[in-house]
Amino acid sequence: MAILLRNRAAAESSKTSKTSGEEETPPKRQESLRETVESIVFAFVLAFLFRTFEAEAFVIPTGSMAPTLYGRHKEGTCEQCGYHFAVGASDEVHHEMGYLLPNTRVEAAICPNCRYSANNIEDALAFNGDRILVNKYPYEFGDPDRWDVFVFKFPEEPKTNYIKRLVGLPDETIRIRNGDVYLWDEERGEQILRKEHPDKQRDIQLLVYDDDHPPRPLLESDWPERWAAVEPEPGGEVPLWNPTDAGWSHDSQARSFELAAPAADDGETHWVRYRHLVATPDEWDAVLAGNRVAPRPQLVSDFCGYNAYYGSSGRMRHMPSSPDEVESGGLWVGDLTANLELTVDAASPGAEFLMELCEGVYWYRCRFNLETGQATLYEVNVQIDAEQEREIASASTPVSGSGAWELSFANVDDRLCLWVDDALIDFGEDASFQRFDVGTPRALDSDLSPVGIAGRKCQARVAHLRIDRDIYYRKTFKETQQGRNGQLDAEVQQLHKLLHDPAAWSQAYGRQGEFMSQRDYTLGPDEFLAFGDNSPRSRDSRFWSTGVGVPRKFLVGKAFWIYWPHGVPFMNDGRGYTIVNQKTPGPGGGLVKVNDYPKYTVPFYPQFWRMNRIR
């Protein structure tokens, strides 16, 4: 810029030195060319400075942050329930060179919704990972915040960039216990670490079941619906539930339940409950072969659909070759969120709608007074008295009279949250609590049916029922290719077999003590702890040989925007037309094209719905 200004000043000086009679003929072409070159150089300098100090674009290579951020992946639609899903495909390629590794092609995937295990995705297109923008400025002049998604230099290989979620700050001791993250201090004990805003917590949850996508072949074979109208059966440690035709009626095609006018006037509370009926690969095979199966409900586990894929039997590295080898999830998750659409056609005096979440000996309820719109939170300790409710907090909501609302009720990280039409209802600090049960988590039979809804004195309809779960942070993760954690993997698989029996599961989990449930990570004065959202498959602070923390000097910046998830091909049956094929090492050396596996296709359009802020 200074050069440009000096050139212009010299030109002006030259002009004033000429006599009035002389004809001025400035070298316009040369000056224009010079300014163009200088402008281009200046633009490059600005871009370099912006990249160095402000923001930089990155591509996510692996699925360690799924489902927040996708790495290289495939997408498919379940052949049985129609649910659209994404699975990781980064195991297919060489992480540095990008070519297709021999015998590692992802061939099939397990549906995260209905668990059908033979979805053929061998010929599905593989997409590169999300492209994101990383803001470097905040870390140059301030301190990182807990729960940031941040980029840093990998301490064991500083030339490599990693992206994780920041969970621990300098001089802290962070504890993983029973899937949650705690701050540990010898004087104050444990303090659970929640996402600072419930909306962030909600955004990173994983699917348990979406009732808008039922497994029709299972239901046609007399497999029970997961959601059903029930009535309590007195007796036992906790109430049991039996199917009933009274109260709510089920429309299996519209995927809704309706509480009709006669039931609205009887004064009784009528229930619909969710039972976690998950079909195994063998049960799916039996049903599709025309056989009938008697399923058993089980506990909600930390199964992660993004990791539920397998390939050929001649695989390399750690790709499973069958559904039985897929990481199935054997750890009970009690932190759930229930989502639904409620339509009230009529509300009599005393009308009420209720949502309930069970977690061991504690049940949490949200009661809506349909006359006033007041929502009240309650806790029931079934170990003491299953009939006694303790009021926690209350708040006003728009759910009153007749109308339609989208409701979400969550029990996550020892905090109860309610959203009405995506707006968070403020219950104050009373809705947050701290459980100091340091022993083994005790699952009950009620956790086989952990979500319930009920209506009284109203004519109502519920639809779009969906259940999500919180991230379950594992003490460690599967890494069989390095021969690590064989004992832990075996224990998780054993626990998976006991999910249908809460008492047996609790006993087996308890026998492992701290080996299964707890680990502490102590950080130095200039270190930060990094965990991946995809806890079963993330190479993060839990396994670094150089120490547990990221030194401050290795911080790059805060991830803040997905600017290009991936293009969506269209035409040619939704596959587009191939312009570049995948390549793989040939038998005689070098790389050869894989003719049936496109790498890039056209035309495509942007995936607008995933272009958003990173929470």
Domain ranges for the chain? 227-274+334-469
Q: Can you state the angle between helices 502-512 and 486-497, rounded to 10 degrees? A: 160
Long-range contacts at 41-48 (CB < 8 A, ≥ 24 apart): 42/1
Instruction: List, for residues 45-57, the tens digit of each pLDDT value.
Output: 545 444 455 778 8
Q: What is the pLDDT of residues 321-331, one digit of tens each?
A: 778 778 778 99
Q: Is the pLDDT of residue 461 over 60?
A: yes
Closest CA to 195 of 59, 301, 337, 362: 337
Is the pLDDT confidence value at 363 over 90?
Answer: yes
- pLDDT above 50 (res 506): yes
Hey, what are 347's tokens? Answer: 């509300």
Q: Name the band, by pLDDT with cuts 50, 70 and 90, for residue 254.
A: very high
Nearest to 441 by CA among 571, 333, 583: 333
Buried b vs exposed e over 109-138: b needs ≥16 C-beta within 10 Å?
Answer: bbbbbbbbbbbebeebbbbbbbbbbbbbeb
- The arithmetic mean of pLDDT across residues 237-249, rounded, is 79
Nearest of 333, 380, 332 to residue 356 by alpha carbon: 380
For residue 157, pLDDT over 50 is answered with yes
Query: Which single residue is written with the structure tokens 């870390």?
Result: 139
pLDDT tens-digit profile of 215-240?
A: 999 999 999 999 999 988 766 555 66
User: Tell me: the pLDDT tens digits for 181-202?
Assistant: 999 998 888 999 998 899 999 9
Domain topology for 227-274+334-469: Jelly Rolls (2.60.120)
What is the distance of C-alpha 343 from the center of its chain? 28
pLDDT above 60 (res 452)? yes
Nearest to 148, CA basis, from 174, 168, 171, 132: 168
What is the arithmetic mean of pLDDT over 238-266? 86
Nearest CA-CA partner of 65 in 18, 130, 110: 130
Q: Give the pLDDT confidence score for residue 138 in this predicted structure.
A: 86
Say which residue the tokens 């297919």 belong to.
92
